A = this chain, B = another copy of it.
Amino acid sequence: MSAGQRGLELFLNRLLRRSMLTDAEQRAILALPGEEVAVEANRDFIRMGEQVDHACLILEGLAGRFAQTASGERQIISLQLPGDMADLHSVVAPRTSLPLQALARTRIRRIPHAALIAVTDAFPAIGRAFWRDGIVDQSIGSQALLSLGRRKAAARLAHLYCEIAIRSEPLGFSREEGFVFDATQNHIADMLGLTPVHVNRTLRQLRESKLVEVAGRYVRILDWPALAKLAEFDPTYLQLEPVDLHAGRG
């Protein structure tokens, strides 16, 4: 199978974990057109206020959406892993309000809005599956709000690692054997609303408590129960079970 198709299969898997789609609908997803693009680390591939006519599917690497204050402090709003359609919402909101940036070297696939609209018109259930897909991102955002608003640094970091571990599973990584998380401590600080210095210290705590082991891009969770407890991590917000979005469902 071609590289493009592999990307679409990851995306289809993502959709299928949350929405039931018929064979015809699945084929329509896999037949989506698009061109592949490579993006260097720390490069915006969608700029602020830009009008876009395509959505970006992450094939490889790590991307994030940013907001920032006047003084230049950044906050990472959401993280995109391979298989995530980073800005599927751009189909209905083509003027993007927030930039998208590659945190590490990343490959993306640009899917024209026209094709996405055509497929949602032909299959209303796909339209609702896209909508539902965005709900998951919103749910992740809600957890992030809870973290930033009410959790201490250690719990925030633990929660982040738990979430990335689960989200990495479809990519062939498991929690125990470790996963790739190619973000710098600077990036993590921007995700958690902390300073890089404090991220470093907090990370040390987790290491010294034998909860996680970090070696460059590779993260391994040594004590999942303890880490999940510290984070108060409950994965149900990620694993919405498949729902039948076809009209006249039972």
Contact = CB atoms under 8 A, between A and B. Distances in A.
Interface residues of A, number: 55
A129 to B, nearest CB: 8
A143 interface: yes
Interface string A117-152: 110110010011111101101110111111011110
A145 B151 contact: no
Given A92-B243, A243-B94, A75 B117 contact: no
How many monomers of this chain does the complex have?
A: 2
A52 interface: no
A2 interface: no
Majority-rule SS of A interface residues: helix
A68 interface: yes
Interface of A: 19, 65, 67-70, 73-75, 77, 89, 91-95, 97-98, 117-118, 120-121, 124, 127-132, 134-135, 137-139, 141-146, 148-151, 190, 192-193, 232, 236-237, 240-241, 243, 245, 247
25 contacts: A19-B92, A65-B142, A67-B142, A68-B150, A69-B150, A69-B151, A70-B232, A73-B150, A75-B146, A77-B146, A89-B135, A89-B138, A92-B129, A92-B245, A93-B243, A95-B240, A97-B139, A97-B142, A98-B142, A117-B247, A127-B131, A145-B148, A149-B190, A149-B192, A149-B193
